[in-house]
Amino acid sequence: MSLFRRGEDRVTVDEARRRVLDAEAPAVLLDIREQHEWDAGHAPAAVHAPLSRLAAGAALPDAARGRPLVVICRSGNRSRQAAGLLAGRGAEAVDVKGGMKAWAAAGHPVVDERGNHGSIA
């Protein structure tokens, strides 16, 4: 059974978090921002795969392969592009409206590369 409803391509940050924490069929929160953005602050459970690498043909990280993907960026623009790219490769992918800015504004956790409190630039 699919974790995503047919025709659905965008989710809220609260729905994204719910899907990632789902005990039965967790999705992968795929952060497609560039390294410096990731280092400054990302969701603790996220998997990193910069859009620049994905667009150049790079494979998904092992932790994201064969799993539903909830794709996130800074504000929701690049993640929409990445979700389309990944869906074109056969992945089950949706993007997060508002991106990491909305994630942080909703009070969801953000950590830096050392695991300390992070920020979204």
Q: Name 2's Cβ contacts closer than 8 Å, sequence gap at least 6.
A: 68, 92
Q: Is 107 a catalytic residue?
A: no
Q: Find the angle CA(32)-CA(82)-CA(55) to the nearest 5 degrees.
A: 85
Bridge partners (DSSP) listed for residue 31: 48, 72
**Tokens at 43, concatenated:** 């969701």
Which of 28, 71, 73, 82 is labelled catalytic? 73
Give me the residue label for tokens 């979700």.
83
Q: Provide the sign of the torsion angle of the four alpha carbons 74, 78, 79, 80, taken in this order.
A: positive
Helix, strand, coil percentages in the chain from 3-state DSSP, rounded to 5: 35, 15, 50
Active site residues: 73
